[in-house]
Amino acid sequence: MKGKLAFVVGTGVGYLLGTRAGRQQFEKIKTWASDTWQDPRLQGYVHNAEQAATEFAKTQGGALKEKAVSTAKSKFGSSGSSDDDASSETSTWEPADGPLVDADDANPDAPRV
């Protein structure tokens, strides 16, 4: 099934990019997509979704952090200290070679592929 779907998608993309009629259709689709994205009604939905995600992150961030810390402690063990000592400490862990950086963060001006 995946092979058939990939073939159909590949054929469609080849038509859109390989023929004059396909390129014209591609330009129509691109214009429609751009107009749709710029529609104020859609942007309102996007804004609402961003606010909901932000609120969720604010309310659940602490709980997620605590769960991650407790899971890490149970999996890797605490470094010889008791749970009371470990809970009162606030430390941040970073890899030995520095903080992790996403490829997009490292080169923000690079073209997206």
**What are the pLDDT digits (tens) for 56-104?**
888 888 888 888 888 888 888 765 444 444 444 555 655 555 555 555 5
Query: Phi and psi dihedrals of 50, rounded to 5?
Result: -65, -40
Residue-level pLDDT at 100: 54
Q: To the nearest 10°, the Cα dihedral for 67, 68, 71, 76? A: -150
> What sign for the dihedral angle of Cα 45, 50, 55, 61?
positive
Task: Give the pTM.
Answer: 0.39
